[in-house]
Every structure is written in structure tokens, then in C-alpha cells.
Amino acid sequence: MVALQAPDPVEVVVRNNGPDVWGVLASLVPLAILLAAVIAAFIGWRSMQTQAEANRRAQWWDRAAWALDASTSTNMDRRVIGLGVLALLAESSLAGEEEARIVQVASNESLAQKVTAREDARGKPPSPGAPETGTQKRIRLEAARLRVVTDRKIGQQTPEWIVELTRTRD
């Protein structure tokens, strides 16, 4: 029998040049998916908030249109209600400066102010005319309240005679 000689041992060298890039990236995929889901959820939530705000503003304008129409009605009771609703709407956070200026037109008309802005700033009341009925006084009171609210909203000083109207009771 012939004896076989064992082969020379094979030297195996393993080189580790750092982490496997693909392995690291593969381990980060779940984190990237989670991050993308959170971003998408935030965008969706923000979109819903924006849409809800737009819907509330549209409803505000629908109510304001009704109240503006009512405030110019020939029916005096409806006019009082319209001015009161406008004052409530003007206090809303949905009403900005521009909306307050638009609503203020109704108060000016109901206060029978046919004066210029300069005369208004001096605080002159409209000239006295025929005696007012109880309903007409209520209209002027609601118009004065509306004017105070809108002036506060737009940062304008309310003439003293209008403020006095809000303090008077029948």
C-alpha cells in the first residue's frame, strides 16, 4: 500500500473592509417606510384641516350673506335680527379685517351715516330728524353694536356717539 501524503494546508484569508453597504441599506428600509408613512399621514391630516377651514369659511359667508340681506330688509324686526347676526359673525375668528370692513357697511347704512370719513373721525352723530320708534331705536342699537365690533376687529377707533348708542337702553 502506498501511503498518501496529506496536501499542504490551504491558507484562507478573510478580508473585512467594513460593513456591507447593501446590508446596511437593507436594514434601514423599514425605517424609511415608517418615515414615509408618517409624512404621508401628516400631509393628509393637514389637507383635511385646510378643507375643514375652507368649509367653515364658506358657511360663514353663507350666513353673512343672509344677515346682510336681512339687515337691509324693509321688515324692521328682520333688520334687527340681521344686524345682530352680523355682529356675532364679525366676532368670529373666521372673520378677518376684510370681512369686518364688508360687514361694517351694514352698520353704517343702518346708523344712517351719510358723513365722510373725516366727519366720522371727529365723532359727529347724524343730524337729528323725526323721532324714532322703538324698532328704529333697536335697529340703531344693533347697528352701533355691529360698528363697535367691526371697528375693534379692524383696529379703528369707534366714534364716541356710536359707543354711547350701545350704552343706552329704552
Q: What type of residue sits at position 72? A: T
pLDDT of 4 strictly over 80: no
User: What is the CB-side half-sphere exposure of residue 159 using CA atoms within 13 A?
Assistant: 19
Average pLDDT over residues 35-49: 96
pLDDT per position as a tens digit, 56-107: 999 999 999 999 889 888 888 888 899 899 999 998 888 888 888 888 887 8
The mean predicted confidence, pLDDT, of the chain is 81
pTM for this entry: 0.61
Phi/psi class of residue 112: alpha, beta or left (left: φ > 0; alpha: ψ in -120 to 50)?
left
pLDDT of 160 strictly over 60: yes
| Cα(76)–Cα(137) distance, integer angstroms | 10
- How many Å from the N-terminal Cα to the C-terminal Cα in the chain? 135
Q: CB under 8 Å to 85, separation ≥6 — which residues?
A: 63, 66, 67, 70
